[in-house]
Structure 1
Amino acid sequence: MFLVLRSWFLVLVGSLAVTAHAANEAPGTKNQEPGTFRPEAGKFPPLEKAHSYRGELVFVDHANRRGSLRVTSPGIFRFTAPHPFALLPYALVRYHGAPAELRDIPLGTMLHVRAFLPPDPKTSAVPVLPVNNREKTKAGALGVAPAENHVLLLEDEPSHCQRVGFVWKLKEVEIKDRAGTILASREGKPDAQTKPVVETLTFDATTRVWRGRESLRIDHLIAEGIWPTEGKKAFGGQSVQIGITWRPSPGGVFARFHLSDIWLDDEAMQNATQHQTELHKTFIRSRWMPAWVDAVEYGKFGRATVTATLFGGMDPTLYADFKAGIAALMNAAENTLKHTEGGTAGPTQMAARGKFIEVRGNPFLQQIQGGPQIDSQTKSDSAKKSAGLLESAGNPNSASIPHGSSGIQIRFETDLITEGMRPTRIVKIRPASWPDVHLPREEYIGQGSIDERFPTPAIFPTY
């Protein structure tokens, strides 16, 4: 009796998921507007065609993978109204140099953005704007409300600097009563053609300072004589990584940014990266690995083999759990990565069950299966490649794996396929060894409808 009910529920949920997955269907007008680019279902968009901007995170709807940024411009920063964005299903989010979710990033953090036009305007989770909207002036500032509001890459300052090979050089500090300003410049390789621009950044007693395994305050730097109690001190270009936020500044300053963190050495930065990595690994194991379906081979009486590509940006140890022959579960998901569960049943109860019969292109299985050991540099490059983070310029490994893809493809065999598992649709996959937990109500769609959002896009201004 239980098996009959479970089969009936799976078919029902799969059918309802058709509507929930409408966001993944490619409209026929994509990429026909001059000078624009829209991602298409089943294709990872090229990073070089994304629009780049930077902004302060001011609002987060983590369950629906969207939020708002105050976008920088030559105008007065505080006048700029928050601009909504949504993460693409395969978006890469990086915080402290590690994979992250929106929920991990504090409000006020300055973020670097690479984004596209909505893949399907009819089902966008944020307002759809005219394609030339970044050419319009808002509140005296140009480009603060770009139509490119579907994000492929979202990263904080240290993540951005590590990806492109930048460090910050401290030039001079001026301090009074544990607060003041620092002169610093973001600098790349010695042969870089662009001359570094020296910026003025504020700090105060809330700024966190990291040295090796130590967590320091400005007071500690003063007590050790590294920084003066009052007045100025030159640093001579000390290399650091920094976290940047924004807060209102006295004196009518239009756009002066604030230091949330200073990492004084590589060990300190690595500690922060490792902590964020562990946080994200725990999250993914409880919410399942996202992917999209490449192909489905149908058998008799509900049997099928699903070929899917795992999304990029995850820690290598998560991908290492995907091995041929192990038991696994697959569940339909919406383009915000919400499970489409069907009522109060959890994803495990409603998912298709089976096993991986093949895992292709997984570079992290070599050590597990007794292959030759990989040196640390190769392992690091392999991890970045699988996460879609290698730059294309001068890097032969990056051409075949686009940003957003892991480059890893699995073939999953099940005896009870659901309607929600069709080519280009989003799914979530769990090796059976991962924990079986129930999700909070806001993180799944109970009736399989795209309109079931918390809240709807109406919360955003029209812009």
Structure 2
Amino acid sequence: MIWYHGAPADIRDIPMGTHMHGRFLLPLKGEEETIPIMEERLKQTPTLRYNHAILLEDDASFYSRRSRSWKVLGFEQGAGPAPRLKLSVEPVGPEIEGGINKPALFDIDDSTRVWKNRQLVGKDHIEPGQKVQVNLTWGPFDSLATTDVWLDKESLEACREIQRQRHLRLIRSRFLPGWVDEAKNKDTGGGEITVTLFGGMDPVLYKEIKQGKSPKVCDAANTLRTWSYHQEYSVQGQTMEWNKTENPPLGSSGYQLRVKLPQMLEGFRPGRIVRLKGPWTYVLLPADEWLASPKEFEMSSKLRLP
């Protein structure tokens, strides 16, 4: 799951260098060698074993979703071999595990985007006493530098809605992913699959799948890439059952549906990933997102470093 500007996102939406917060897991079975780690480093830092992310979010998402903001104290001129202007802030709101819970200095310069009334303004609009949200990147000497400063909720909401619409456009064209929990083959052909939809998506997407009642289902690899023209090679199904689990684990939406299908594809097996199309306009995907051969499908069955 990925969040950017407080809305669901894809990794392609995150600018390079963005400071992120995350939750990390041990690799899945078969993925242990995806990110090789030297034994010496593991002895020094055992937590390096947890190198598969289940959640990533930028600072604006991380803090705003936890009712935290920053109170501006003013500006300070840094010293040392590379003096830089600093934005001095202190946290407002609850203490957050993994967050910055004390006053901080963030680099700021004319490359920082400052938002007010849904418009870009100069950093001279930043005044002591204001409560702001910020996004950060890495600066020199392990410092953090501002990429964005939001001076009001209206401006952050505008950026959040733009990202939300970008997310809706992506998922409606690539389809909603889920995990196959159970598969049943019929003696006369076809069968049923039970699917738990992935979490971290906009609620309207789950609603559209539920109301559509006849999702198209295509098989996908662990990388979420689908087979060739995913629309043409998907199977039109019929939703037979829809269940909601309260307080689902991280990564799960809590929505589980049982779908009747006239044809069972190779990928419709427990533990495999499928993608479901709701009542959305078909979009032809770029060719580099397809899986066009059995060899490509096998390669995409595991996460691999470029």
TM-score (norm 1): 0.59
AA aligned to 2:58 is D
* 1:280 counterpart SS class: helix
Structure 2 equivalent of residue 67 of structure 1 = none
1:93 paired residue number: 2
1:305 deviates by 1.3
Matched residues in 1 for 2:96 and 2:194: separation? 45
Structure 1 position 436 matched with structure 2 position 302: no
| SS class of match (1:323) | helix
1:390-405 matched pairs, under 5 angstroms? 400-405=247-252
User: How far, CA to CA, are the matches of 2:242 and 2:76 in structure 1?
Assistant: 56
SS in 1 for 2:168: helix
Please give the per-residue CA displacement for 1:146-181, whole angstroms capped at 9, x wherever unaligned.
2211111101001110233321222121369xx721
- The Cα shift of 1:188 comes to 2.8
SS of match in other structure, 2:74: strand
Report the 3-state secondary structure (helix = DSSP H, G, I; strand = E; otherwise coil) of the residue aligned with 2:49: coil
The aligned counterpart of 1:385 is none
Residue 133 of structure 2: which of 237, 241, 254 is its match?
241
In structure 2, relative to structure 1, the CA distance for the partners of 1:320 and 1:195 (3 Å cut) is: closer
Q: 1:451 and 1:305 mapped to 2: Cα distance?
A: 24
Whole-angstrom CA distance in 2 between matches of 1:190 and 1:124: 34
For 2:37, the equivalent position in structure 1 comes to: 129
User: How many residues in Structure 1 have an aligned counterpart in Structure 2?
Assistant: 297
Shift of 1:124: 5.5
Is residue 115 of structure 2 the alignment partner of residue 210 of structure 1?
yes
CA distance in 1, matches of 2:214, 2:270: 22
1:143-158 → structure 2 map (5 Å cutoff) = 146-158=48-60
CA distance, structure 2, for counterparts of residue 403 and residue 132 of structure 1: 31
2:294 maps to 448
Identical aligned residues as a percent: 32
Task: Check if 1:360 corresponds to 2:268.
Answer: no
Match 1:104 to one of 13, 29, 35: 13
Aligned equivalents of 2:75, 2:106: Cα separation in 1: 10
Q: Give the drift of 1:130.
A: 6.0
CA contact (8 A) 1:128 1:147 kept: no
1:327 to 191, 197, 214: 214
Amino acid corresponding to residue 99 of structure 1 in structure 2: P
Q: Give the Cα separation in 1 of the matches to 2:158 and 2:148.
A: 13
Conserved in 2, the CA contact under 8 Å of 1:324 and 1:356?
Answer: no
Aligned partner of 1:115 among 24, 38, 41 = 24
TM alignment of 1:33-52, pairs within 5 A: none
- Cα distance change, pair 93–214 in 1 and its aligned pair in 2 (3 A): same
2:242 and 2:258 in contact (8 A); partners too:
yes
Report the Cα distance in structure 1 between the residues aligned to 2:219 and 2:110, rounded to whole angstroms: 48
Other-structure match for 2:232:
349
SS at 1:277 equivalent? helix
Counterpart Cα distance in 2 of 1:146 and 1:189: 28
Q: Residues of 2 paired with 1:406 and 1:190: CA distance? A: 27
- 2:187 pairs, out of 297, 300, 322, with 300
Q: 1:361 to 1:245 in 2, by over 3 A?
A: same
Partner Cα separation in structure 2 for residue 106 and residue 126 of structure 1 = 24
Q: Deviations over 1:314-347 (max 9, x none)?
A: 11111110226632211111111111x1xxx401
Residues 93-126 of structure 1: per-residue CA shift (max 9 Å, x gap): 0011110011101011000121111112x34683
Instruction: Supply the distance in 2 between the matched residues of 1:132 and 1:358 (Cα, whole angstroms).
Output: 51
Match of 1:309 among 196, 201, 209: 196
CA displacement at 1:134 relative to structure 2: 5.0
Contact 2:95 2:101 in 1 (8 A): no
SS in 1 for 2:299: coil
Q: 1:124 to 1:357 in 2, by over 3 A?
A: same
- State whether residues 310 and 408 of structure 1, in contact with CA within 8 Å, keep that contact through their aligned partners in structure 2: yes
- Offset of residue 422 of structure 1: 0.9
Shift of 1:458: 6.2
Trace 1:399-414 onto structure 2 (pairs within 5 A).
400-414=247-261
Runs of 5+ unmatched residues, structure 1? 1-91, 137-141, 228-233, 249-253, 363-396
- Are the aligned partners of 1:243 and 1:261 in contact in 2 as well (CA < 8 Å)? yes
Taking structure 2 as the reference length, the TM-score comes to 0.87
